[in-house]
Amino acid sequence: MQKIWNLKKYNEDEVKKICNEYDVSETMAKFLISRNIGFEDIKEFLIGDISNLKDPFLIKDMEKFVNRVSRAIKNNERICIYGDYDVDGITSITIMYKFLKDLGADVIYYLPNRLLEGYGINNGALDVIREQEVKLIITVDCGITAVEQTEYARSLGMDVCITDHHECSEVVPNAVAIVNPKQLDDKFEFKYHAGVGVAFKCIMALSKVFNLDENEYMKFLDIVAIGTISDIVPLVGENRIISKYGLKLIPNTQNIGIKSLIKVINCKEIDSTMVSFGIAPRVNACGRMGNAKIAVELLLEQDEQRAYELALELDKLNTLRQKVEKDIFDEAVSIIQKNRLDLKNSIVLYNEHWHNGVIGIVASRLVNIYCKPVILFTKENSQIRGSGRCQSGVSLYDCLTYCKDLLIQFGGHELAAGLSIEEENINKFANKFEEVVTSSINENNEQIIDIDMEISKSDLNIQLIKDIWNLKPYGQANKIPLFLYRNLKVQAIRTLKDDKHLKFTLRDDKFLIEALAFSQGDRRDEVKLGDKIDVICNVELNSYNTPKTVQLILQDFKKSIN
């Protein structure tokens, strides 16, 4: 697939206006424009704090939610929090459970087994919950598509309050309250919370009703930040505030489980990258391998020794997950290459032996390689379940909606979704999915890499590093800046870690720069010593050197034209 380098252009008058109004460098002004931060939103983006969080009662049905939960607490009714088995769902359960416990509520939680029950509410789980004399179910990070299940819960004498952030269809469950800013008639300004962000808004509202000190909900921001960053929602607006201030709490977190997990990871810096590649995979691993309760137990644990044991267990499960993932990935790539599926606009694969908990990660990796929507199916307890991922520019949710007549159920986001299907419909689905994807994508199927700006050696200074740092935390809709750097002479090149990565020494006149290209070891023979190359890169400080030096992290490279 052809990669198109798109160097962004800027209106100089707009750049100057931002510089003058907000006292920032030209580089920072361009970063803000590149990220589509509106002129009136720049101040909040740069220095927004907790006071900028909007009133939770502006979300539709929040008052209904608070009233029903308050009545349950007053009447000592048992409440069950029903969540999802990923990091977002696990952190959502944790903060809702701990907060309600602190209020004196009689509360339990329920996590479906990913491999046996699949995603979302199911009637079997509702039977189990009812046996525990539950009167109110609060869903977190799920429930918005549970129309039939909500009716079944009501028939069992249980009320349901749904808190969710997934896309809504025209028909929603007949619940006591639905707190989801994505409802079609919801006027709340910010639509991009993770499930844990919506749960956080709920406990904010409850705190106001119970006249609690702000700290009674703000103390959970570290957990909320972990769930938000892990769910790959846009890190702008309220998500940026939550992530920025939540990350600051993590080094001194009072949560013993998080402390233990950080100890096991042995990370040097607490940032969004550490959450995405350190904490999230380990918390997700237990759910993917079949028992997400381990992660909830970790985040609720009060004993340091037990918490450390649970953290080690998550680490071992993550190692197992990595092996299973590699085996499925290698097999999927082999099928794609053998059948030339890379020539199609979408990829749909089915193998009844693949691990249901891992196919979503493999689908993500395949999207990164082939830059097209990918759906992987497997069989679990006689049911065919799938997980889909896609690149930006195509709405996976909309494409699945087009194919809904062939599906048992589906749900998710623009870029990720889960689904189930009858086995005999897989081929029909693959054809129809290809049809709708083809009508949705760029006709040339090019992978466009958007570059923030071009730099030279004179730009590699303290101000650039400061501006890059001030953009943190990085995430969806606020990616780490990408730069174009031309005519760098290859002084040295070698592979690292079983030929997986590349390490360069590059020369600009007399100036030497170290550079790394992760997962690009197979490109070693594309350049030789003495060649001049243009690179797309991130710029960072190499903290392993003393004194610290600038290094480039290459996302792509090619030989210079001149």
Domain end (from 208, 234, 254): 254
- Inside any domain, residue 224: yes
pLDDT tens track for 501-521: 999 999 998 899 999 999 899
- Do 243 and 96 share a structural domain? yes
Q: The domain that contains 434 carries what CATH number?
A: 3.10.310.30
Q: What is the mean pLDDT of residues 153-172?
A: 94
Statement: residue 444 has pLDDT above 50: no
DSSP per-residue codes, 487-547: EEEEEEEEEETTTTEEEEEEEETTEEEEEEETT-GGGGGG--TT-EEEEEEEEEEETTSSS
Q: Are residues 390 and 502 in the same domain?
A: no
pLDDT for 1 equals: 53
Identify whether residues 433 and 547 lie together within a single domain: no
Residue 112 clears pLDDT 60, i.e. is over it: yes
Same domain, 57 and 203: yes
> Is residue 239 domain-shared with residue 222, that is, in the same domain?
yes
Q: CA angle at residue 472 from 466 to 476, to 5 degrees?
A: 140
How many domains is the chain built from? 3
Convert the pLDDT of each residue in 368-409 to its tens digit. 888 899 999 999 878 899 999 998 778 899 999 999 999 998
Domain range for 113: 52-254
Helices 280-288 and 256-265 meet at what angle, rounded to 10?
Answer: 100
Contacts by 20-26 with C-beta closer than 8 Å and gap 24+? 22/46, 24/467, 25/463, 25/467
**pLDDT at residue 545, as a whole number:** 65
- For position 152, which CATH number holds? 3.90.1640.30
**Domain boundary pick from 227, 254, 281:** 254
**Alpha carbon separation from 161 to 86, 177, 180 (Å, rounded):** 20, 5, 11
Q: CB of 312 within 8 A of CB of 264?
A: yes
In a domain, 539, yes or no: yes
User: Does position 178 have pLDDT exceeding 60, yes or no?
Assistant: yes
Query: Looking at the predicted structure, is the pLDDT value of residue 118 above 90?
Result: no
Query: What's the pLDDT tens digit per position in 17-60?
Result: 999 999 999 999 999 999 999 999 999 999 999 999 999 999 99
Range with top average pLDDT, 70-84, 355-369, 529-543: 70-84
Is the pLDDT score of 116 beyond 80?
no
pLDDT at 137 over 50: yes
> Has residue 300 been placed in a domain?
no
How far is residue 182's CA from residue 167's CA, in Å, rounded to a whole number? 6
Say whether both 168 and 226 belong to one domain.
yes
3-state secondary structure of 439: coil
Within this chain, do residues 168 and 222 fall inside the same structural domain, yes or no? yes
One domain, residues 429 and 465: no
255-308 tens-digit pLDDT: 999 999 999 998 878 889 899 989 999 998 888 887 889 999 999 999 999 999
Give the per-residue pLDDT at 442.
55
Does 302 map to a domain? no
Q: What is the mean pLDDT of residues 103-119?
A: 86
Mean pLDDT of 82-90: 93
Higher pLDDT, 444 or 249: 249
Does the residue 274 lie in any domain?
A: no
Model confidence over 95-108: pLDDT tens digits?
Answer: 999 999 999 999 99
